[in-house]
């Protein structure tokens, strides 16, 4: 059996860490004093921008409305528009700070749509680089994450105020 060391997942599988009860996104929205621990890059009255703790690629962030809903159609259109305006700013942040060469942006709505947290809609921004996926994803159903979460968070957090005004 092949083994892949994945230290970034230690917190997720640890039984010593207290699990968040209820909606993790609502927890983030209502606990601004835990901003750094939770990976928040920016927050306002309508939404927040947070690093994905279990990313598809280094620097994967999400824009999440403070309003708890699993239906995009129930979200206030003004909040949706503003989230998308900040998505543009977030793309610039990821390109400038992480030197991302491309970007995947999207939503998985509902469990059938592929959402890992289906009860609260969220917009994914996934930075991409030439060659960022390789054969291991195809043959071993495994993704290698080559960067340290905290190092990326600190880099993005330091520069975020320049982008999110």
Give a yes or no: residue 12 inside a domain.
no
Residue 143 pLDDT > 90, yes or no?
no
Give a yes or no: residue 32 inside a domain.
yes
- Lowest-confidence pick of 55-64, 88-97, 135-144: 135-144
CATH number of the domain bearing residue 110:
3.30.428.10
Q: Which residue has the higher pLDDT, 145 or 77?
A: 77
Give a yes or no: residue 144 inside a domain.
no
- 127 lies in which domain range? 22-134+156-163
Kindly write down the DSSP assignment for every residue of 2-20, as one continuous string.
-----GGGHHHH-SSSPPP
Give a yes or no: residue 147 inside a domain.
no
Determine whether 68 is an active site residue: no
Give a yes or no: residue 58 inside a domain.
yes
Cα gap 51→95, rounded to integer Å? 15
Q: Are 72 and 80 in contact (CB under 8 A)?
A: yes
End-to-end CA distance of the chain: give it in Å, rounded.
50
Count the domains in the chain: 1
- In a 13 Å sphere around the CA of 46, the CA atoms on its Cβ side amount to 12
- What 8-state DSSP symbol labels residue 21? P
Q: Model-level pTM greater than 0.85?
A: no
- What 8-state DSSP symbol labels residue 22? S
Residue 6 pLDDT > 80, yes or no?
no
Residue 138 pLDDT > 50, yes or no?
no
Give a yes or no: residue 141 inside a domain.
no
Pick the catalytic residue: 60, 68, 120, 122?
122
List, for residues 8-44, the tens digit of each pLDDT value.
Answer: 555 555 545 567 789 999 999 999 999 999 999 999 9
- What 8-state DSSP symbol labels residue 165? -
Cα gap 123→60, rounded to integer Å? 11
Cα gap 55→62, rounded to integer Å? 10
Give a yes or no: residue 63 inside a domain.
yes
């Amino acid at each position: 059996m092949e083994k892949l060391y994945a230290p970034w997942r230690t917190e997720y599988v640890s039984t010593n860490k207290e699990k968040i009860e209820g909606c993790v996104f609502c927890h983030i929205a209502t606990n601004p004093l835990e901003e750094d621990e939770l990976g928040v890059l920016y927050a306002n009255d309508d939404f927040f921008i947070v690093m994905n703790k279990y990313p598809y690629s280094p620097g994967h962030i999400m824009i999440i409305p403070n309003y708890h809903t699993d239906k995009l159609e129930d979200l206030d259109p003004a909040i949706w528009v503003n989230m998308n305006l900040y998505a543009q700013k977030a793309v610039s942040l990821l390109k400038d700070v992480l030197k991302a060469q491309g970007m995947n942006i999207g939503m998985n709505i509902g469990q059938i749509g592929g959402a890992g947290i289906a009860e609260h809609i969220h917009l994914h921004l996934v930075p991409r680089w030439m060659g960022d996926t390789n054969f291991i994803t195809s043959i071993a159903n495994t993704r290698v994450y080559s960067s340290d979460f905290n190092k990326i968070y600190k880099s993005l957090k330091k520069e975020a105020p320049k982008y999110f005004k």
